[in-house]
Amino acid sequence: MSVRWIAVAAIVLLCIAHPCESAEEETLPPLKDGRAPETVDEIWAGYDPQIEPLEATILKEWEDDGIVCRIVRYRIGIFKGAKSVMAGIFAFPRGGKNLPGLIQVHGGGQSANLNAATTNARRGYACISLNWGGNPLNDGNYQKIWNDPGTDWGAVDGTHPPKKDPVNHFVSCAPNDFTIDAVDSPRNSAWMLVTLGVRRGLTFLQQQPEVDGAKLGVYGHSMGGKLTVMTAAIDDRVKAAVPSCGGISDHPTEAKMQSSMYHQRLTCPVMFLNPVNDFHGKIDDLARTVATMPGKSYRFSCAANLDHRDRPEHFVCGPLWFDEHLKGTFAVPRAPQVDLQLKTARAVPILNITPDASRPVQSVDVYYTQQARSDKVANPCWRHAKASRTGPAWAAELPLFWNDRPVRVYANVNYALDAPITGAGYYYSLYTTPDFTVSSPLLTTTVDTLSAAGVEATDQTSREIESFEPGWQKGWYVFNENGTWPYRTNKIQDPKWQGPSGARLVLEVQSEQPNKLVLEIDRYAVESDLPGGNVWQTISLECTDFRNAAGEGLSEWATARELVIADRVTLKNDDMVKVVGRSWQGPLPKFRRLRWADK
């Protein structure tokens, strides 16, 4: 990889924008009669992101296997008499022309990342990963690739967490020395500042000779998901958007800059990536979001049982969405049609699923829950229901534990890709996937509807938590982007599989080589020695065998939320840290019969 350094002031990228009348002219017009704006139209009145000069500069440039990489900086605007500038990592294939352009918007506490830019560039895009948060720019391994953040907000502060402003203006609009308006105003919100920066990023892309300025997309995670929605709603240069884990829910802390204010302006095609247990983009808000949108080109891809994380088969739906709407090289299948049948011969609800057959269907998976997020249930357990095929349709029975609680249910349809795709996940680790998953809308029934249909509570408690028969992983999840363990499940907080008082947790395991197997429950862990060989070993544990970093034992099974099967975990308890287990040697272990047993 060759690297060449370029002085900050040496090269100015091609800028076509019209110059301002004065270098110190304020970017935003003053308030009318000192009154704060209230609507989205009023908030953005008088602002044009293409008017001011960009003053774009290259801070560093190098090439990596045919991909041109640049650290760049451009002018956002003039606020309170001072200039604000945004840094980012810009990448594109060498010699590329008329490339579709992408903006990647990082989440809270994150930064611009090289993997985000280069993985898109390798797929034929010009991509800039913005560094709005004011943290060091990183490569794919979170190593700094520039000595400072590059971004300087000047007299205002759009960083996260705030670097200069003593008030977090992502949750406040009150005036102070770092705000634009002298009254309580949505223009004082840091959401406004960063959205300004993203919109100027669109102008940056438009002015690059490698980019087709009519084919621009935006995507982002968490706070970046909300910023994606805001930008796509207010700027018609965005032709496709992919928000993940953000932009669909209103939060009390975001007064005067709620996501719902922007939904009624969303007209471009949107792919919503939203794991069903996400705390920030609440799954129940997804239907309300699309019902408000005037644009009706959208899809969902929703991983079961995950919170603020995702799986490769869901990640990849973002790149595929851009391939469809910016390149015209792919067609994402329509969302599966779903119908919840409540009146059945066995009084057990049945979900009927008809997938889009424009591509061969690999599998159909149904997930449902009667739990809701609460102090006692951090992440509801979405049970996996096996779907059976009859002709072009699938059906899955949904045995209920209660008939006096609502039911939420949806289906995931998995399709094969023509060739594996590599990309960067939400936290920039690389993934490669041979398939992708499109989700149905979430269906919710009321208790009255269940009662009127004569639905009965037919499900019962089970001592066997997991049989480990083929397909068992569908009730579990992993945090590793490429699907390897540790294995995690929240089945133990579902009353069906909850641990009885005084019971022992039993697991049978086989390890080819000598190893240590770790079981963890809610930051309490225990390790067991495995001798290796072809012998099945039975691990039998009391709840007090599980210890936290301070050495305290788990008091009861009834409050357990998540079970982890791992080789190594790190426990944290206040200022105490303890590593349990060690790196696994040899092939992954085999399991059978995870269960509760009497002492």
Residue 57's φ and ψ, nearest 5 degrees, are: -130, 155
Report how far residue 521's alpha carbon sits from residue 561's, in angstroms, rounded to the nearest whole number.
7
* Residue 24 confidence (pLDDT): 76
Sign of CA dihedral 419, 430, 325, 323: negative
Pick the CATH number of 337-460 from 3.30.420.130, 2.60.40.10, 1.25.40.10, 3.20.20.70: 2.60.40.10
Residue located via tokens 């611009």: 112
Residue located via tokens 């039975």: 538
CB–CB of 479/427 below 8 Å? no
Residue 159's φ and ψ, nearest 5 degrees, are: -80, 165
CA nearest neighbour of 155 among 128, 178, 129, 189? 178
Residue 322's φ and ψ, nearest 5 degrees, are: -70, -35
Beta strand 82-93 pairing with 99-105: unpaired
Considering all CA atoms of the chain, what is the largest pairwise distance in Å, rounded to the nearest integer? 82
CATH T-level topology, domain 2-268: Rossmann fold (3.40.50)
CA nearest neighbour of 500 among 414, 425, 573, 596? 596
Report how far residue 324's alpha carbon sits from residue 321's, in angstroms, rounded to the nearest whole number.
5
* Residue 491 confidence (pLDDT): 97
Count CB-CB contacts under 10 A for residue 532: 15
Residue-by-residue DSSP string for 117-149: HHHHHTTT-EEEEE-TT-PPPB-TTS-BSSSS-
Q: How big is the chain by its Cα radius of gyration, in Å?
A: 26
Count CB-CB contacts under 10 A for residue 193: 25
* Residue 378 confidence (pLDDT): 73
Q: Measure CA of the first residue to CA of the last residue in the chain; give whole Å.
A: 62
Two structure tokens written together for 73: 């900086």
DSSP 547: B
- Would you kindly state where each structural domain of the chain is located, as residue ranges? 2-268, 337-460, 472-597
CB–CB of 107/182 below 8 Å? no
Sign of CA dihedral 313, 315, 319, 324: positive
Beta strand 361-369 pairing with 350-354: unpaired
Report how far residue 221's alpha carbon sits from residue 236's, in angstroms, rounded to the nearest whole number.
21
Report how far residue 293's alpha carbon sits from residue 434's, in angstroms, rounded to the nearest whole number.
32
Helix-helix angle 190-206:223-234, to 10 degrees? 60
Two structure tokens written together for 175: 């005036």
Per-residue pLDDT of the chain (599 residues; tens, 9 = 90+): 444 444 333 333 433 333 334 457 999 999 999 999 999 999 999 999 999 999 999 999 999 999 999 999 999 999 999 999 999 999 999 999 999 999 999 999 999 999 999 999 999 999 999 999 989 998 877 777 887 889 999 999 999 989 999 999 999 999 999 999 999 999 999 999 999 999 999 999 999 999 999 999 999 999 999 999 999 999 999 999 999 999 999 988 776 899 999 999 999 999 999 999 999 999 999 999 999 999 999 999 999 999 999 999 999 999 999 999 999 999 999 999 999 999 999 999 999 999 999 999 999 999 999 998 766 667 899 999 999 999 999 999 999 999 999 999 999 999 999 999 999 999 999 999 999 999 999 999 999 999 999 999 999 999 999 999 999 999 999 987 777 899 999 999 999 999 999 999 999 999 999 999 999 999 999 999 999 998 999 999 999 999 999 999 999 999 999 999 999 999 998 889 999 999 999 999 999 999 999 98
* Residue 483 confidence (pLDDT): 72
* Residue 190 confidence (pLDDT): 97
Two structure tokens written together for 447: 């208790």
CB–CB of 519/546 below 8 Å? yes
Three-class secondary structure of residue 277 per DSSP: coil
Report how far residue 468's alpha carbon sits from residue 452's, in angstroms, rounded to the nearest whole number.
37
DSSP 324: I
